Every structure is written in C-alpha cells, then in structure tokens.
Amino acid sequence: MRTSGILFPVFSIPSRYGIGCFSKEAYDFVDFLAQAGQGCWQILPIGPTGYGNSPYQPLSAFAGNPYFISPDDLIKDGLLKREDVDGLFFGSDEEKVDYGALYENRFTMLKKACDAFLEKNGLSVQDLIADVARAYSAPVSTPSPVHSSTADGKAVMTASTADGKAAMTALTADGKAAITASTALQNLTGKMVDGAATKATLSGTAAPLKKQTDSGIRVKETAEKACSCDPWACENEADAFKAYIRKESAWLADYALFMALKNAFGGASWTSWEDELRTRKPEAMQNAFQEHAEEVIFYCFLQYEFDRQWHALRAYANKKLVRIIGDLPFYVSLDSADAWAHPEVFQMDKDLVPTVVAGCPPDAFSPTGQLWGNPIYDWKALKKVDYDWWVHRIERNYEFYDVIRIDHFHGFCDYYAVPWGAETAEHGTLEKGPGIDLFNVLKEKLGRLDMIAEDLGNVTEENVKLLEDTGFPGMKVLQFGFTSWDSVYLNHRHIRNCVVYTGTHDNTPTRAWVEEISDGERDFTRRYVNSMNTDYGAFTWDIIREAYRSVADLCIIPLQDYLCKGRESRLNTPGTADGNWQWRLRPNFLSNELASSIRGLVEVYSRVPKALDETV
C-alpha cells in the first residue's frame, strides 16, 4: 500500500518552552500531516538523553524523555501555575535547543508539578515507595501478541499473564536465586542469577522453567500474579499511577533508582559508584530505595506523565490516519540504567567491566576505525532465555510506536567488537550476531512485527539474506544514489518493499546538499530527475518528486527538504560532538499552501493514506 510521511523529531516542534514537546504545537503538526495527505510521522528516538544530548545514546532503552512533557498540560491539570513556568529560562533562540538551560531549569518545574500531583491525589512518598518495591519484585507478564490489528485498525497491546504458579525463590548470601519450583512467570531484572527464562506460547502460558546453573542470566520470580490493569482505564489518577508502576515494573524501578543515584553521585557514571551500589548488593539496593524515595517517585511520575501525554498524542494521530514511525537505537549507552541493571545482557566480566565495546573497523575515511564505546550484547546468553530482554524492549517500543525503524540493522548479522581499554578500533574483530533467530522469537512472542530496517552502509550477502528472511523493508536514500554510478539507491533499482528517502537525520538537508556536491554530481542528478531548474529550491522539490515517483511503498521526506532549508537545519553530523540535535522549527512556519503542495504530490503518485487497518 503506497503512502508517504514526514521525518520531524519531537525536539524540533515549535514551542515556547525551549524544546519541542507534547503541546498544542504537536497536535497542530499532526493536523498539518493530515491536511498534506501524509500517512506517517517518523520521529527520532524519544528516550532520556545524557551527555552529548544524542537520542541514540539514551539513559534508558525503555523510558521517555522528560523534556517532552508539555508544561501546558501540567497547567491545565492544575499541577502548575502559569507563573511557575513563565519565570523560567529555557533558552533565547527559537530555532535552536539550549540543552544547558533545559538542564538547569526544567526539572525544577517538573518537581513542583510532581509535588502537586501527589498532594492533589492524596498520595504519600512512603506508601508509593512500598508499591515500587513490591512491583520491583513482581514478575512482568509473559508477552502475548501485541501488534495485531483490531477492526478499527488500532494496535492491540496486551500482556496477559499465564495462569501458572510462580516459583518461590530463596536468596543466598551472594544474591543468587535458588529455584525451587518448575513453573514460573519471570523477566530479566538484574537482581538474581542462575535461572533460565520460560518460553511463552502464543496463548500466554509458560513452559516449565529449567534450571541453568551456568547461564549467568538473572531472573525474577514471585508467587504474586502480575497486575494486568491498564493505567489509562482507571477511574482516578491515584489508581492510574499505582497501576502504571505495576505495569512498567520490568524497567521503571531500576530506571528511577538509577537516576536518583546518578543525581546523588553528581552525574557520575554508575561504573564509578561505590561498590555495593555498582554491583547492586540486595541490602544496599533496599537501603537506596528508602534513602532516595522522594527522588525515585519523582522519576516514576515523570515517566507516568510522559506516557500519558504521548499516549494521547499518538491516539490523536491514529484518529487522523497518521501512523507513528519510531526509531530504535541498536546499542545502549554504557552509562545507562540498562547496563547497570542488566549486566548479564552484555559481555562483561565478573567485576561488571565490559570485555569488548562497539566500534567500526578502519576504512578509507577513518584509518584507525571508529570507537563507539557501547557495551556489546551477550547474544549466546540471551539466546538461552529466548532473548527476554529484547522481547520486553520491543514490546515496550510498540507502546510508543505503530512502526519501529531499527537503527544499524546490520548489527544483527555481524558486529565489530573492540577490546575494552583500546584507544582506537584498529584491533577489533568481526563477530556473528543472532541473525534471524532473534526475529523468529520476537514474532513468536509478539505477533506481527511492523519494522523498517536501517540497512545503509556496507552490504554483504549475509546482510541481504537477513533482510529478505525478515521481510522488513530496507532504506533507499536518494542523496547516496546521485553520488555514485548505477547505485542501488537510485529509483530504477528500487523494489516495492522498501522506504525511499531524500535524506535522513544524518544527511545534509537536500537544498544544502545540492549546493555542496560537485558539478558532475549535480549534472547527473539534473539529468536523472529531468530538472532544468536553476533555482536550488525548485531543484530540491524536483528531487522530492523523484522520491514520490519511486515504486517504494513508503516515501519519507525530512521536513527541512519541503521547506528548502539549508545547512543550519541539519540535525546531526556523524563523527562530531557539538551542534547536533538542536534545530527547531520557528512557530507558525507551516502554511496551508505548503500542505496543499505536498498533497498534490500525494495524489499524483497514489500515496493517499488508507484506514490504519488497511496499512501494512
């Protein structure tokens, strides 16, 4: 089914609060998409960012970015007053995010809203921290298929629990779990070891738990049954907040405590924390929950409010026949709640130090390679538990998105591992990834997988086969096609099952690209798209038209290209640390005339969106 969409990050949405958020302007953009005949809104990762502000280095693979919480909604709900917001400085440039100003002032405002929320709903920190502790030790339900469509086209996202008894566990002095029963519901938590995950069937029942004394995989078991309450169906906010804590227990308590401790240690990485907390000793963890209870509940509130606001915005978009395409980073940051809470997921030694980190081998552009520094997954250990952490990660992301774009898809086929401590990436090795096995398990546990594979870069027979085996559409970027002869990225090499882009978040906006390429490349581009326009803005629209012409089922255009923006609107320059992830659209910049022009392309090239239940 042919359709089109616009690439536009949440942080780039206009707002009076220094960064794009889930405010009226976000809803206005959805209205613009519908008016322009667009069926998709592609965004960048929406996780909480740390040092460098990159959405591809989030502090959690499961959490949302608190900066995106709309202050207007908090005012509307009576949690803030207008003067609480207007007196704060969030930056002076309406076209550029000032992350320093946000860091200094945003959390002050959000903390005031959290205090008001607790008071308004008669909730106490001490009662809630007890709920967090209980949820922390309760299992998450075995995933059921979550991505099948109902008759009205809305994704069904359930996680039914199995009707089995959970194994009772006894903690030994060193924190290892002794498994005393054979049927259990469990999930990876980073608190217990020496267990193997149950294998779920599509009916949601759990298979017998087999003890694996050498797996090193940690599991969590309890006699309690996981809460299946939908927070957004609760009658009052107090019950909704408690239900949310239970529902998201697989990651929320770990993340909230991680952030509280990170603040307590002055922002230092968890790898430098005092040993008992770094290694998550049970008594130290218990004490930390109590000592930092107020901060833990604050971070739980931020995630609750983020999810509540995003849930409403996504529902609005779906009602307008706009699907959300999200972006899933392949790796996680070493300084993340995931690496701290789940060292068993990664290749780490007994002291929780990575044995290898991610990178890229040397090439003509980088003679010493690229050293990324991310921890690398322990795929052999993950396979023993049916990739449980990945299953829950994908399940969580389908709570955010209708379609998931997987960054660095080639990493599932093979990855480059550099020894820990190396100063360059020259002496790494190419290792095999999980391949199709991971996606078979994901499909078994979660049902249909609506995904886009970012398959750019070095192409091998193995990469091509994995893409074919999954059935996911790959990406075709026209800018890449026009700079090499008979490239696979040119329109005549496209297939239906792919996504065509003029450029991505890592590319120069097309208007600037047209100006910067060589005369020979510009001439070839002109001849290929049959454009005699000497005006670079009109030339840019000719290239957009070429993307719409493609046989590709889905066409995605960055918003900057429609606006003929220059280099100042570039989102990211790979290999650089400064000046990225900052561009913002000026308020009231999108016009009815622009929407009409885009819709004209949609209609000419048969990309009018259909009802969500008809899309694939």
Active site positions, annotated: 407, 454, 506
Q: Is 449 exposed, middle or buried (0-12, 13-18, 19+ CB in 10 A)?
A: middle
Which residues have C-beta within 8 Å of that of residue 525, sequence separation ≥ 6? Answer: 482, 514, 517, 531, 543
Q: Is 589 exposed, middle or buried (0-12, 13-18, 19+ CB in 10 A)?
A: exposed
DSSP state letter for 586:
P
Distances in Å between the Cα of 70 and the Cα atoms of 16, 47, 406 are 10, 16, 27
How many Cβ atoms from other residues are within 10 Å of residue 586's Cβ?
10
H or E segment at 6? strand 3-7
Beta partners for residue 155, in sequence order: 149
CA distance 324 to 322: 7
How many Cβ atoms from other residues are within 10 Å of residue 137's Cβ?
17
DSSP codes of every residue in 358-407: EEE---SS-TT-EEEEEE-B-HHHHHHTTTHHHHHHHHHHHHH-SEEEET
Radius of gyration of the chain (CA): 24
Q: Is 101 exposed, middle or buried (0-12, 13-18, 19+ CB in 10 A)?
A: middle
Which residues have C-beta within 8 Å of that of residue 516, sequence separation ≥ 6? Answer: 508
**What angle do the packed helices 536-549 and 519-529 form, to 10 degrees?**
50
H or E segment at 467? helix 461-470
CA distance 543 to 147: 35
Taking the mean position of all CA atoms in its chain, how far away is CA 150? 24
DSSP state letter for 492:
G
Amino acid (1-letter code) at residue 241 = F
CA distance 83 to 94: 20
CA distance 399 to 394: 9
What backbone phi and psi angles, to 5 degrees, belong to 306? -60, -50
**Positive or negative: CA dihedral 486, 488, 490, 495:** positive
Distances in Å between the Cα of 253 and the Cα atoms of 138, 239, 328, 341, 537 are 11, 18, 22, 10, 50
Q: Are 305 and 381 in contact (CB under 8 A)?
A: no
